[in-house]
Structure 1
Amino acid sequence: MHGTEAPSDWVRRWSPLAPPGSTVLDVACGAGRHLRWMHEHGHPTVGVDRSADAVAACAAWGDIHCADIEEGSWPFAGRQFGAVIVTNYLWRPLLPVLVDSVAPGGVLIYETFARGNETVGRPARADFLLEPGELLTACAALRTVAYEDGFLDSPARFVQRIAAVRETTEPSQPVRYRLDLAV
């Protein structure tokens, strides 16, 4: 089942940007590899996936919702999170909602397939592949901390990934970029 593998290196690297103890949302959470990771690092977690099997597999790590976010309504309307995590998932109409779901001081950690992936495997349909710079454009309201767009080995794939924060409006409350790069 998708989600039983180890947490993404990208998520592991940038997850320290989530404010300590803040609630984390994992979108299309699968069996919960990132929910588990964030839960183990002291964060309350919320997940959403359309698969009842996936939701059942990760129920121990937080508040998990079974919902089809492509056909139904967004189950977290009006809520913001200390971190929003998305991996291996793209539904373009949801991109602005995901950006809006990042609380002041919070982070969006996003990693998914990009154009070029059709030459090495699946997904291959343009609907599931980001165009060059598309993730940067979608995150224009946030401060980009890290961005990559290119080819990765093991397994061979083309990806775009971003770590972007919503800065606070309070000058006395700057976003602190706590990084433990030895993950």
Structure 2
Amino acid sequence: MELIITYSSLLELHLVQLKKAAESGKILDLACGTGRNGLYLINNNIPVLFSDVKKDSLAVIKETLNSNTAELAHFWHVDFEQKDNQLKNRTFSGIMVFRYLHRPLFESIKNAILPGGIIIYETFTVENRQFGRPHNAHYLLNKGELVAQFKDWNIIHQFEGIIDNQGSPQAIAQIIALKPFTE
């Protein structure tokens, strides 16, 4: 049986911008989980730094790589919810975050992206409570919160609403934005 890995359609729709950003360095897949989105980039010859708190998740991603793509993948076992700023003194051509929210990271994420770099962020909103987990307000965006975080950036895509995720409705917010060269 072949393993089919699904990735966010945002990546395919904005692959040109991702490739352009990657000319300046790696894309950070922050809290990557199973790595489905980073693996899509790797398969499109874009270097990715997979980061997660779970060593097992990173190990599974390593096993998924083949010899042709392994050199594009890098790994970082890290807990972004520690008091220390794990992103301090690090820069990336882009950062992507899917289905993860830790509000204290917003400023660190913005600072870690190089000018001209890209942010791709998608996670649940408070409206998702009606459909299931997560329920905790700490893990749910408020209306307009994601766009407000990146209001000074060049927003090339934004969405807030309900999607059908393989037959299950989910309330999410998405943003894709480019960091200005001067802030």
Q: TM-score, normalised by structure 2?
A: 0.83
- Whether the aligned pair in 2 keeps the contact of 1:14 and 1:109 (CA below 8 Å) is no
Whole-angstrom distance in 2 between the partners of 1:125 and 1:82? 31
User: Among residues 132, 138, 141, which one is paired with 2:152 in the alignment?
Assistant: 141
Pair 1:156 & 2:166 matched: no
Aligned-pair CA distance for 1:72: 5.0
- Deviation track 1:74-111 (CA, whole Å, cap 9, x = no partner) reads 43322221221000000000011111222112110000
Residue in structure 2 matched with residue 10 of structure 1 by the alignment:
10
Aligned letter for 1:166?
A: K
Identity of aligned residues (%): 27
Unaligned runs of 5+ residues in structure 1 are 170-183
- Deviation track 1:114-154 (CA, whole Å, cap 9, x = no partner) reads 01100111111111110011001111231111110101113
Whole-angstrom distance in 2 between the partners of 1:52 and 1:99? 25
Whole-angstrom distance in 2 between the partners of 1:79 and 1:141? 21
Unaligned runs of 5+ residues in structure 2 are none
Q: How does 1:1-183 map to 2 (within 5 A)?
A: 5-18=5-18, 19=20, 20-21=22-23, 22-59=25-62, 60=65, 62-71=73-82, 73-154=84-165, 155-169=168-182
Q: Secondary structure at the match of 1:153?
A: strand
Whole-angstrom distance in 2 between the partners of 1:139 and 1:110? 10
Structure with higher helix content? 2
Aligned-pair CA distance for 1:167: 2.8
Runs of 4+ aligned residues of structure 1 deviating over 6 Å after TM superposition are none
RMSD (Å), alpha carbons: 1.7
Q: Call closer, same or farther: CA 1:72–1:16 in 2, change over 3 Å.
A: farther
Aligned-pair CA distance for 1:12: 2.5
Whole-angstrom distance in 1 between the partners of 2:161 and 2:110? 22
Q: Secondary structure at the match of 1:164?
A: strand
Q: TM-score, normalised by structure 1?
A: 0.83
Q: Secondary structure at the match of 2:107?
A: helix
- Whether the aligned pair in 1 keeps the contact of 2:87 and 2:108 (CA below 8 Å) is no
Aligned-pair CA distance for 1:16: 2.4
- Deviation track 1:27-58 (CA, whole Å, cap 9, x = no partner) reads 00112112211112222211210111111112
